[in-house]
């Protein structure tokens, strides 16, 4: 089987240019046509109070678990092995457990606030709590999170040989309505397949990696393995380095799903706060297990050689492997299926800010869509690695949605509990922790960016 090779830098640049030119067309067609075919964008036409077409009381417990799991799962799973490689197994597990528990507690605060505040819309809770500033904070956080999610979903396509299939297939066939639909099942199935392959490849790829590990096409059993550095193959349990600062933002990015909680709560059959909390508990437990296994086996396969985007690490070992090509296509399909969905809340938020009182206008609708898609693709081209997307969005928007906003809304809107009650004290401490996570993570990430920029400058000057 012959394959045409280009210079790696030239090939990446070529794919990026084609990505910028071609993908927005399909994103645009999907974003414009789908609302008319399946009415998923009725909010933009003024018919529905929500971004998605929801049917109150129509979703069973099992379907809600299924869909919330799909809302949690995304491209964040690709960065977890990198997070473990820079924290160690024990530290990663501690952080993973902590973030999962904090996220569930945040869901508890959000559901209780929604009941007390009388609204199932995240932005509306912000408005009731703090007026226009609260609404803007919620809207901007959701927009940033979804924008980062869209960018991270598109990012893996830049490196993949199945790039054009990735553009044509999902966006031509992905017609979803709200959070319910067959794409949820297919997306989760793709991620389960990805996890199975990650576990399987752990027992195929040797450690340490062979010296000529790039673009290996022969059978693993035939490789000449470099045994001079077996120390790097021993798993480490506690690691602290300059990249450790990205671990918490990557985990918060992977677990954030809070804008989806309230619409799903409204759709839940025989709705109650306890029942929705149980839905969240089951969904988070399932994603916790998947995240832990993906991170563990990805890390054990490559150890210190793992990259921020796990799929790209595999491509350095095999230039052509049928199983890996299938799983890369599956993951790309899974994460790209979410792009048209997460685009709607971004566009709706922007549309509300620009002309909330105006009637639906096609030119404005088209301009906002195209502008957002161009910005996404420009970010994909110029952001050095997906790690920076995970880090920045995880430390800012995800921290706001998980820690800060739910606790602040709870403190402000739940009137029946005094500030001296255990519940309010817990929410206040949670709010403080949220600010600490956001400020510390952002400061350390920016410091790392500055350090890397200085190092790159010195390296360039030296040559």
Return the minimum-mean-pLDDT range out of 78-82, 167-171, 439-443: 167-171
By CB neighbour count within 10 A (0-12 exposed, 13-18 middle, 19+ buried), where does 356 fall?
exposed
Do 302 and 381 meet the contact criterion of CB atoms below 8 Å apart?
Answer: no
Q: What is the pLDDT of residue 376?
A: 74
d(CA 453, CA 384): 11
d(CA 135, CA 391): 25
How many domains are there within the chain?
1
Q: Is residue 1 part of a domain?
A: no
d(CA 303, CA 234): 8
Residue 386: pLDDT band with limits 50, 70, 90: confident
Q: Is residue 246 part of a domain?
A: yes
What is the percent of the chain where pLDDT is above 70?
A: 67
Do 374 and 114 meet the contact criterion of CB atoms below 8 Å apart?
Answer: no
Work out the average pLDDT over 377-388. Answer: 75
d(CA 34, CA 337): 13
Q: What is the pLDDT of residue 166?
A: 40
Q: What is the pLDDT of residue 62?
A: 84
Do 397 and 137 meet the contact criterion of CB atoms below 8 Å apart?
Answer: no
* Residue that has been written with the tokens 């528990």 in this structure: 101
**Which of 358, 435, 398, 364 minimizes the C-alpha distance to 255?**
398
Work out the average pLDDT over 235-252. Answer: 92
d(CA 276, CA 61): 8
d(CA 322, CA 311): 14
d(CA 246, CA 224): 34
Q: What is the pLDDT of residue 305?
A: 83
The answer to whether residue 107 scores a pLDDT higher than 90 is yes
What is the percent of the chain where pLDDT is above 90?
A: 30
Work out the average pLDDT over 326-340. Answer: 71
Q: What is the pLDDT of residue 46?
A: 39
Q: What is the pLDDT of residue 313?
A: 82
Residue 161, both tokens: 């040989």
Q: What is the pLDDT of residue 188?
A: 79
Q: Is residue 255 part of a domain?
A: yes
Q: What is the pLDDT of residue 287?
A: 93
Q: What is the pLDDT of residue 352?
A: 62
The answer to whether residue 257 scores a pLDDT higher than 80 is yes
Q: What is the pLDDT of residue 171?
A: 39
Work out the average pLDDT over 353-368. Answer: 70
Residue 404: pLDDT band with limits 50, 70, 90: very high
* Residue that has been written with the tokens 């819309």 in this structure: 121
* Helix, strand or coil, per DSSP, at residue 249: helix
The answer to whether residue 222 scores a pLDDT higher than 90 is no
The answer to whether residue 215 scores a pLDDT higher than 70 is no
Residue 315: pLDDT band with limits 50, 70, 90: confident
Residue 59: what are its φ and ψ, rounded to 5°?
-100, 130
* Helix, strand or coil, per DSSP, at residue 318: strand
Q: Choose the most confident range, by mean pLDDT, from 335-339, 358-362, 455-459.
A: 358-362
The answer to whether residue 252 scores a pLDDT higher than 90 is yes
The answer to whether residue 91 scores a pLDDT higher than 90 is yes
The answer to whether residue 145 scores a pLDDT higher than 70 is yes
Q: Is residue 37 part of a domain?
A: yes
117-140 pLDDT, tens digit per residue, is 888 888 889 989 999 899 889 888
Q: What is the pLDDT of residue 410?
A: 95
Do 113 and 406 meet the contact criterion of CB atoms below 8 Å apart?
Answer: yes
The DSSP bridge partners found for residue 177 are 180
- Of 201 and 360, the structure prediction assigns the larger pLDDT to 201
- Of 73 and 23, the structure prediction assigns the larger pLDDT to 73
Q: What is the pLDDT of residue 76?
A: 83
Q: What is the DSSP string of 181-223?
A: SHHHHHHHHHHHHHHHHHHHHHTTS-SSPPTT-TTB-S-GGG-
**Which of 157, 158, 139, 100 minimizes the C-alpha distance to 337?**
157
Q: pTM of the entire structure?
A: 0.76
Q: Choose the most confident range, by mean pLDDT, from 66-70, 106-110, 156-160, 324-328.
A: 106-110
The answer to whether residue 460 scores a pLDDT higher than 60 is no
The answer to whether residue 417 scores a pLDDT higher than 80 is yes
Structural domain harbouring 76: 8-462
Cα-based distances in Å from 237 to 189, 234, 444: 31, 10, 22
Do 103 and 288 meet the contact criterion of CB atoms below 8 Å apart?
Answer: no
Do 80 and 195 meet the contact criterion of CB atoms below 8 Å apart?
Answer: no
Cα-based distances in Å from 248 to 76, 101, 146: 12, 13, 19
Task: Determine the distance from the C-alpha atom of residue 335 to the mean position of all C-alpha atoms in its chain, rounded to a whole number.
Answer: 9
- Of 39 and 283, the structure prediction assigns the larger pLDDT to 283
**Which of 215, 49, 79 minimizes the C-alpha distance to 153?**
79
Q: Is residue 3 part of a domain?
A: no
Q: What is the pLDDT of residue 354?
A: 67
d(CA 220, CA 75): 28
- Across the chain, mean pLDDT equals 75
Work out the average pLDDT over 222-251. Answer: 75
d(CA 234, CA 300): 8
Do 144 and 393 meet the contact criterion of CB atoms below 8 Å apart?
Answer: yes
Q: What is the pLDDT of residue 353?
A: 65
Q: What is the pLDDT of residue 1?
A: 39
Residue 81: pLDDT band with limits 50, 70, 90: very high
Return the minimum-mean-pLDDT range out of 38-52, 71-85, 325-339, 362-376: 38-52
Q: What is the CB neighbour count within 10 angstroms for residue 9?
A: 8
Could you tell me how many helices (H) and strands (E) the chain has, helices first?
Answer: 20, 0
Q: What CATH number should be reported for the domain holding residue 382?
A: 1.20.1740
Q: Is residue 370 part of a domain?
A: yes
For residues 82, 287, 138, 122, the Cα torsion angle rounded to the nearest 10 degrees is: 170
Work out the average pLDDT over 242-269. Answer: 89
Q: Is residue 212 part of a domain?
A: yes
Q: Where are the beta strands (DSSP E) in 338-429?
A: none
Residue 303, both tokens: 């150890």
d(CA 208, CA 226): 6
169-191 pLDDT, tens digit per residue, is 353 333 333 344 456 667 778 88
d(CA 125, CA 134): 8
**Which of 243, 284, 290, 270 minimizes the C-alpha distance to 388?**
243
Q: Is residue 27 part of a domain?
A: yes
Residue 57 gets the label, from left (phi > 0), alpha (psi -120 to 50) or beta, of: left
- Of 197 and 24, the structure prediction assigns the larger pLDDT to 197
């Amino acid at each position: 089987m012959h394959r045409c090779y280009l210079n790696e830098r030239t090939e990446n640049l070529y794919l990026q240019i084609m990505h910028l030119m071609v993908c927005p067309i399909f994103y645009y067609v999907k974003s414009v046509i789908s609302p008319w075919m399946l009415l998923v964008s009725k909010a933009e036409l003024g018919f529905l109070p929500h971004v998605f077409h929801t049917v109150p009381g129509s979703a069973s417990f099992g379907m809600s678990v299924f869909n919330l799991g799909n809302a949690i799962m995304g491209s964040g799973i690709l960065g977890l092995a990198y997070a473990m490689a820079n924290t160690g197994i024990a530290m990663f597990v501690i952080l993973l457990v902590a973030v999962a528990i904090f996220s569930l507690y945040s869901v508890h605060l959000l559901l209780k606030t929604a009941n007390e505040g009388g609204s199932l819309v995240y932005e509306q809770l912000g408005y009731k709590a703090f007026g226009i500033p609260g609404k803007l904070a919620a809207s901007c956080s959701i927009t940033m999170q979804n924008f980062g999610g869209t960018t991270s979903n598109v990012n893996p396509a830049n490196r993949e040989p199945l790039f054009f299939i990735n553009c044509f297939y999902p966006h031509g066939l992905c017609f979803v309505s709200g959070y319910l639909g067959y794409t949820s099942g297919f997306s989760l199935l793709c991620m389960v397949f990805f996890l199975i392959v990650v576990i399987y490849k752990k027992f195929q790829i040797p450690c340490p990696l062979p010296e000529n590990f790039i673009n290996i096409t022969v059978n693993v059993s035939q490789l000449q393995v470099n045994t001079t550095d077996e120390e790097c193959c021993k798993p480490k349990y506690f690691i602290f380095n300059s990249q450790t600062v990205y671990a918490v933002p990557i985990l918060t990015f992977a677990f954030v799903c809070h804008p989806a909680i309230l619409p799903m709560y409204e759709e839940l059959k025989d709705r109650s706060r306890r029942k929705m909390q149980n839905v969240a508990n089951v969904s988070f437990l399932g994603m916790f297990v998947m995240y832990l296994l993906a991170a563990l086996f990805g890390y054990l396969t490559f150890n210190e050689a793992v990259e921020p985007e796990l799929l790209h690490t595999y491509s350095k070992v095999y230039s052509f492997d049928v199983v890996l090509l299938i799983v890369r296509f599956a993951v790309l399909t899974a994460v790209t299926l979410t792009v048209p969905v997460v685009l709607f809340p971004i566009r709706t938020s922007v549309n509300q800010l620009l002309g909330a009182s105006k009637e639906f206008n096609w030119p404005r609708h088209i301009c906002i869509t195209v502008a957002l898609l161009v910005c996404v693709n420009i970010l994909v081209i110029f952001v050095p690695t997906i790690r920076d997307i995970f880090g920045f969005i995880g430390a800012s928007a995800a921290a706001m949605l998980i820690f800060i906003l739910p606790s602040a809304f709870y403190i402000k809107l739940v009137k029946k509990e005094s500030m001296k009650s255990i519940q309010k004290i817990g929410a206040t401490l949670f709010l403080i922790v949220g600010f600490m996570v956001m400020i510390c993570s952002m400061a350390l990430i920016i410091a790392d960016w500055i350090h890397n920029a200085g190092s790159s400058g010195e390296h360039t000057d030296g040559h």
